[in-house]
Amino acid sequence: MLVEGRHFFADTNPYRLGHKVCAVNLSDIAAMGATPRFMTLAMGIPSADSVWLEAFSQGFLDLASKYDVELIGGDTTRSACRTFSVTIMGEIPYGTALCRHHAQIGDDIWVSGQLGLAALGLQGLLNNITIPKTEHLHLQEALEAPMPRVALGLQLRSYAHACMDISDGLLGDLPHILKASQVGAQIEWEQLPTSPLLHQFIYQGSPHEKQIALQAMLGGGDDYELLFTAHPSQATKIVETSTQCHVPVTRIGYITEEQILKIVDNNGLDLNLTGLAYQGFNHFS
């Protein structure tokens, strides 16, 4: 369920909004390693603005048809709060779905794509940080037009132990895997994939920029990248898969027996950054 003012701005381009409403649901299916098949879309809208609706529907259906997903039902009603609710159904051989509770001690931890771009884009739109003009479009695209990692998820079914998509930030979501699997994790700060701009803010920015960028990278939402664990012996196959799917993946740490989450520097020293998790997206803050 996506609600205006909470999950998107009122003035978001409707084509992109339609894309995103579809994408975030496809991402849930991708995280299970399933093939998306059917969707329903219910919408509450303040008025029947046909130009807006046409663009929204086009964005939604263009992405759905890219994955051969059929829109099989839905509802439209009037609501003061623009609201979209999607149910997506996928298909997967019995018992093979990727889930959160199969991470094993010694597993590598991997993530697709780059972390924090969408969240930094949001902070830019909110005027909390000044984004260089050349980077605007790129960050806004990360925020508004995420690409679900469906092909990667399908391949990972053969290699990964645990998997989920990152919608609430690395430090908001990794604990779900750790808790469900009753394990801990050590994350290597230097390995975390992000953009040069985020790095620049973190290493050369003002204290304010550094804080915003760190928060975006570790606790920011809307990345829709896959976070997964796999036995170290699968590393080569995972990298090959990444190349086939044209989606970069990065090994960012490993699963530990001790049930805590640490982010360490090159010398294995705890950087005490995990407190940022509590600043992650909270559904009732």
Q: How far is the CB of 257 from its own copies (least distance, A)?
A: 32
Q: Which is nearer to its own copies, 189 or 281 (CB)?
A: 281
What type of residue is 175?
P
- C-alpha to C-alpha distance for 97 and 157, rounded to whole angstroms: 7
Decide if 228 contacts 98 (C-beta within 8 A): yes
* Residue with Cβ nearer its own copies (87 or 191): 87
Report the Cα 37 to chain-centroid distance in Å: 21
Closer by beta carbon to its own copies, 6 or else 179: 6
Residue type, 47: S
Distance of CA 137 to CAs 2, 105, 198, 209, Å? 23, 40, 15, 19
Q: Residue 234 and residue 198: Cα distance in Å, rounded?
A: 30
Q: Least CB distance from residue 40 to its own copies, whole Å?
A: 5
| Min CB(78)–its own copies separation in Å | 6
Closer by beta carbon to its own copies, 44 or else 59: 44
Q: Of 5 and 93, which CB lies nearer to its own copies in the complex structure?
A: 5
The residues that touch its own copies, with contacts defined as CB under 8 A, are 1-3, 5-7, 40, 42-44, 47-48, 73, 75-81, 83, 85, 87, 283-284
Give the C-alpha distances (Å, rounded to integers) separating 188 from 12, 106, 110, 229, 268.
Answer: 36, 14, 11, 14, 8
Report in angstroms how near the CB of residue 198 gets to its own copies at its nearest.
27
What whole-number distance in Å separates Cα of residue 248 and Cα of residue 242?
Answer: 6
Beta carbon of residue 75, minimum distance to its own copies (angstroms, whole number): 5
Q: How far is the CB of 179 from its own copies (least distance, A)?
A: 18
In total, the chain counts a number of residues equal to 285
Which is closer to its own copies, CB of 73 or CB of 132? 73
